[in-house]
Amino acid sequence: MPSLRCINCQTEFPTTSRIYTCSSCSGLLDVVYELNEFTGERLMSVWDWRRASPKAVDQSGVWRFRELLPDADESEIVTLSEGNTQIWEAPRSAGFAGMNRLAFKHLGMNPTGSFKDLGMTTGITQAKRLGATSVACASTGNTSASMAAYAARAGMKSYVFIPSGQISLGKLSQALDYGSQVLQLEGDFDDAMRLVREVANETPIYLLNSVNPFRLEGQKTIAFELLQQRGWQAPDRIVVPGGNLGNSSAIAKGFHELLERGVIEKMPKITIIQAEGANPLYRHWLQHRDQKESENFEPVPHAFTMATAIKIGNPVSWPKAMRALEWSDGEVEFVTEQEIADAKAVIGSDGIGCEPASAVTLAGIKKLVAAGTIHSDEDIVAILTGHVLKDPDYTVNYHRGTLSYSDKNGHKVELQSNHANAFTQIPAERTAILKALGF
């Protein structure tokens, strides 16, 4: 039977307890599983067999891996056939970064356009199992879009706490369409996160941010599916954007569980990339990377990036992210707004595309190759977290040469559109069109 275990004091709780953190020491919780007969070959063959099964739970790229997921009655599972996202080779992106080869696993191809669906199927299923009728989250947009959809499927009421004016309209429109009650708070994501936790502790509303360990259980299947698609061969390195740090932690847990069960022999290096103005993990890791335990985490006040999905200064899951780095001998890097914008256009030029937060991966790889930390012949899978249509304003502004932001002192900073696909307006007549086409 799986149980909940505190990553600090190791106290265990049943998975039916409605807690988000340890009730003894407030540490983060993991869902842990017994090491049973499901190891190595046996796991791989059951999981491979299910890939061809027509059953709804087997078609889900999350529930297919249910030997290592929290207990759930099949009739209780809330699924939108999430997962099953492709890994694509990206030659132009590889060349841009100085790599021989590079592959992207695009989690933006999930039902609501981001990786959050993988955690929401397990999160909402757990909410149902506990008898919750309403759920809430703080969000930079994708978590709320995903929670709203899965709550709607389950017939639950949902409340989203979002920083006013700081999420893309695409994401806001999803939460509205799926019927969530949207609370736009006059504050940033870190305020919203603090407040939603307070509200969830005082009311029957079930909290679905990634501090909830059941969310991360779904997201860890990114590691399982990725390995399955590669014939159970682990890459050298996984590169992932870091915001609230749930996803990097979850992916590392997935690989670690398969290492313990003999499916893989070595952890891929987990490499977390943050935006320059929202890089608290990078700062912490620089100072504390050699310490076993480090308690004083300094948030970045008023975090900033135009990649709004990762505009987070006080990430909840930082202790689990530090564990991920230790397990895998990983790295943390940060990249500038300019680097993110250019990398995003290059990913687009491979015919793949992504939202700005996802593009930190390619920008980070380029920076780490230039620094000699990443070798050009490494086998890397970078994780694209959100769909290109999530934030079209950003993309259009980049290609039009009008992407800009205000710095801390209120000065306008204009970005260069180094990989722009410029477009102009012309009269609606044949000669003008032929001229524009170069004939």
Nearer to ligand F0G, 31 or 263 (CB): 31
Nearer to ligand F0G, 72 or 273 (CB): 273
CB nearer to ligand F0G: pick between 3 and 397: 397
Q: Which is nearer to ligand F0G, 43 or 223 (CB)?
A: 223
Comparison of 97 and 273: residue with beta carbon closer to ligand F0G? 273
- Cβ contact 238:220 at 8 Å: no
Residue with tokens 């991966």: 361
- Comparing CB distances to ligand F0G, the nearer of 263 and 270 is 270
- To the nearest whole angstrom, how small is the minimum distance from the Cβ of residue 320 to ligand F0G? 10
Q: How far apart are the first and last CA of the chain?
A: 70
Sign of CA dihedral 267, 143, 165, 133: negative
Q: Which residue number, 245 or 300, has a Cβ lying nearer to ligand F0G?
A: 245
Helix %, strand %, coil % for the chain, to 5? 45, 15, 40
Nearest distance, CB of residue 16 and ligand F0G, angstroms: 26
The minimum distance between CB 135 and ligand F0G, in angstroms, equals 14
The least CB distance from residue 387 to ligand F0G, in Å, is: 9
Q: What angle do CA 179, 182, 184 make, to 5 degrees?
A: 165
Reported as type and span, the H/E element at residue 138 is: strand 134-138
Burial of residue 423 (number of CB atoms within 10 Å: 0-12, 13-18, 19+): exposed
CA angle (281 as vertex; 280, 283 as ends), nearest 5: 65
Euclidean distance between CA atoms 84 and 67, whole angstroms: 18
Structure tokens at 156: 């639950």
Q: Report d(CA 25, CA 8) in Å as an integer.
A: 8
Shortest distance (Å) from residue 370 CB to ligand F0G: 23
Q: How far is the CB of 141 from ligand F0G (least distance, A)?
A: 5
In the complex, what is the shortest distance from the CB of residue 310 to ligand F0G, in angstroms, rounded to a whole number? 5
Cβ proximity to ligand F0G: between 72 and 340 the closer is: 340
Looking up tokens 């204009």, which residue turns up? 414
- Which C-beta is closer to ligand F0G: that of 44 or that of 208? 208
> Token pair for residue 151?
């709550």
Smallest distance from ligand F0G to CB 408, Å: 22
- Least Å distance, CB 388 to ligand F0G, is 11
CA–CA distances in Å: residue 75 to residues 58, 264, 278, 353: 13, 32, 41, 36
Comparison of 85 and 143: residue with beta carbon closer to ligand F0G: 143
- Helix 169-177 × helix 142-154 angle, to 10°: 10
CB of 420 to ligand F0G, least distance (A): 23
DSSP 356-384: GGGGHHHHHHHHHHHTTSS-TT--EEEEE
Q: Which is nearer to ligand F0G, 261 or 320 (CB)?
A: 320
Give the closest residue to 219 by CA, choosing from 255, 273, 193, 243: 255
Dmax over CA atoms of the chain, in Å, equals 76
| Interface residues toward ligand F0G, by CB under 6 A | 114, 116, 139-143, 210, 241-248, 309-310, 355, 357-358, 385-386
**Cα(193)–Cα(111) distance, rounded to whole angstroms?**
24
Shortest Å, Cβ 274 to ligand F0G:
9
